Each structure stands twice: as structure tokens, then as C-alpha cells.
Amino acid sequence: MNAAVRVRFAPSPTGHLHIGGARTALFNWLFARHHGGVFVLRIEDTDTSRSTDEYIEAIIKGMEWLGLDWDEGPFRQTARFDIYRNYVDKLLEAGKAYYCYCTPEELEQRRKEALAQGRTPKYDNRCRNLKEPVPGRAAAVRFMMPQEGRTAVNDLIKGTIEFENSVLEDMIILRSDGTPTYNFVVVVDDIDMKITHVIRGDDHVNNTPKQIHIYKAFGWDVPQFAHLPMILGADKARLSKRHGATSVMAYKDMGYLPGALVNYLVRLGWAHGDQEVFTREDLVSYFSLENVGESASVFNPEKLLWLNSQYINASSPEDLARQVVPFLISEGVITAEGQLDMQWLSRAIVSLKERSRTLIELAHSLRYYILDDIEVDPKAAAKFFKPENLTTLSELKDLLADIADFTAPQIEKAFMSLAEKRQLKLGDIAQPARVAITGTAASPGIFEVMEIVGKEKVLKRLKKAIG
């Protein structure tokens, strides 16, 4: 493990793990794994009014489902308040921070006045040079920002970005109620956890110069920054709930495979030539920040669905059998785990996986293999259950009943002999039989389907169709 590379994913538990957060986690994970480094999970839960244990659990479950294992953590910021206050004290002692006695109401009034006068609202530093405390008022602590010059952010994706220090206000690092603020605790955590590369969304670009000055105030090496481009919906607006599911676990519930979602997320901003489908090993081997683009990416649900179908088709039937069982239960096909012979289920899946784009579609297709009674599509019945076809099915049923070894080759022989006897095309027998056995006019090869369905159910369904 290369301790020279240490990255972190630091979600706020104010909601589920969403698509944007999952991609940030993935890029950090890939960067760490590619370099043999350390991937830290940190829960930024200082917003106690919105952070919940339920969301922390949901984020962890999302990470686990995607296979993004972490080496250290999860660390919770609420367990580190004493550490943050100790760092605040260091800045106060060094004269790099000061007590501010302005009330929220006074600050809001000054903000409104600045806007009314066409000025950028910014703290006016009136407490910066106070020598004595203001009686009867609780104090916040502000960090002293430089007031002249520029701050350069050497971004590994966006290149060099410069900020005028004159626009940076002396920000609060400890509120008057004793709770620390985001921009301060992030830096303290990254110092304590020896983070070397900060890879995060580009909505944090404007926070970066403020954080750089805190690093420098402690004499600490500034980590390298890489800000990932945004993910947009099809309408080019920032991806949100109105564009569909944004929670990672919602995609699990819709029958997507974690590998497919990981593959899709990595392609939102990163490329390796024209390759579209990657194994996990490919991604770890190829990933680099040099191949992350600066432009925003557009989330395309159809592309994700196509990719999921590729992953389903490439998966082993045994693995799909294990994963599809919960969907068979939720679709009402079975009532509990352990109800099916998994080897038999794997055989059924072999015939269907090329036709299935999600595990829900696969579970739905498996209905005619598993259920005792199936519903027949009325349109298909009207088209293929004509009197002459039912007579043919009756003869077919008698031939199939005599087969001792109910396998696809033997079933095919019965069909062929009947077609020859009645001077019919094979399709004239196969299509009515398909509708009787599967309830639909489209299925995998009917001989293989019949073998998997089994002789007892096949004869029962033919009898029902004839009746």
C-alpha cells in the first residue's frame, strides 16, 4: 500500500447516496486503488439539524453495494469536536484568528445594506482589531484572511484557477454556540488524516482558496486538488430528482447490477479511448485523473440500461440466479428464498438473460418457468388458438405424454413427426404451442423452454389451451 497517496470520500448524511456522490466516491476509490494508496471514508455530519443515522447507514449500504471498500473509517465529524476546538485555539494563540461579537441580526442588516448599495456583501472586519471582549455577547471565532494578492489553485483537472484575496472575507470557523464550520473542519480533518489529494465535485471550487489559507496558517502542505465536472440531466440542468432516480439504491431496487452502474458512472467524465465496457480490474489499471474531462457530463438513462443488459448477458447464470431471487419474491413469483432449485433456476436463466435488461425484467420473464398457472395474452390466443391449431395441439399433447426422456431433442422429434404427418410447417405447431406454454408469442427456443418447464406443467398447459 502506497501511503504517499491518501484520498477521502466525505459525504454529508443529509440524504441517500446519490449519483453525483457515488461518482465522487468511485473516482477517489479508483485513484487510491490504482496507486496502491489509502481510501478514507469520512462522514461530515456537523449539520446536526439535517444529518441522521439512517442516512449514514444508507450511504454505507450504497458504498458496499457498489463494492467501494474503504481502508480507514468511517470517521464522524461529530465525534471530533474537541479536536477542532484545539485547532481553533492554536490559531487564536498565533494571532491568525479572532473573536467576533457581531450578532446574526447585525450581520444580516449589513448584508442587506451592501446589496442595496450595489456592493458585494462581505464581513467588514470590524471585530478584527478588538482588544477587549464585548460584555454580554457570545463570541464566534473568525479566521484572518489575507486582504491583498491572489491565491492560485493548481487543479489537476481544471488547470490553474486564481482568486483575488480581496474578495475573501474573514470567515467564521467556530460559531458562537461552539460548533465548528464546514470549511474549517474539512481542512482539520484532511490535515489529521494526512490526505494528499482532494478529489471532489466542482461545486467546491470556490471553497478551495479559503481552505488553502487555513492549511498555510498551520504550516501544512496543501494537498493537490481535482474538481470533477458536474453531472447534468438531458435538459442540461444539474441532475436532480426531477430527472428520475438519483439515489444509488433506487437503481438496485430497479434491478440494475452494481458493476453496470460503476461502469456507467466512471464514463461520466472519464474515458479510455473508445472502450465502453470495463471490468473492475480494467478500471483500476487504466484510471488516471489526466483522462478526466473538464466538461459537464449528461446522464443518459438509456445508455445505463444498455450497459446493464451487457452486464446481465456477461454474468454467470449462477450469479444471476442468486441476485434475481429477491425480485422473484417482490414480483410475486415465489414467496420465500429456498423455494427453488438454484441449479434448475440457472438453466432457466441461460435461456433468458440475453433478452433481459434488468433483474426485474428477468424475474418477470421467469414467471412461465416457475408458476403453475400462467396468464395467456388474449391477442396471442386469438391469433394462434384457432380450431385447427387446437386439434394439432391435442395430437402434440398425446405425443409428448409418451416421451419418457423429456429433453429438448426428444421434444423436437415429436414436433417434427407431427409436422410430417400433418404436412405442416414447424412454425404452425411451434407458435400455438409457445403461446400455450409461455402465454406469449415470443420466447426462447420452444423445445428448450418445454424441457425446463417440465413435462407435467407442459401437458397441463396444453390441456388448458385445448379446453
**275 Cβ partners below 8 Å, 6+ apart?**
282
Q: How big is the chain, counted in residues?
A: 467
CB 68 within 8 A of CB 26: yes
Task: Identify the bridge partners of residue 201 per DSSP, sorted by sequence position.
Answer: 228
Q: Which grid cell sits at 9?
A: 470520500
The number of CA neighbours under 13 Å toward the Cβ of 381 is 15
Catalytic residue list contains 241: yes
Residue 190: Cβ within 10 Å count: 24
- Which of 131, 158, 210, 241 is flagged as catalytic? 241
Q: What angle do CA 146, 229, 10 make, to 5 degrees?
A: 70
Residue 329: Cβ within 10 Å count: 15
CB 32 within 8 A of CB 39: yes
Burial class of residue 125 (count of CB atoms within 10 Å of its CB; 0-12, 13-18, 19+): middle
CB 153 within 8 A of CB 163: yes
CA 300/CA 214 separation, integer angstroms: 39
From the list 205, 227, 347, the residue with the least C-alpha distance to 296 is 227
Strands lying side by side in the sheet with 6-9: 6-9, 38-43, 72-76
**What is the β-pairing status of strands 140-143 and 172-174?**
antiparallel
Alpha carbon dihedral 262, 254, 248, 74, in 10-degree steps, equals -100
Task: Identify the bridge partners of residue 391 per DSSP, sorted by sequence position.
Answer: none
Active site residues: 241
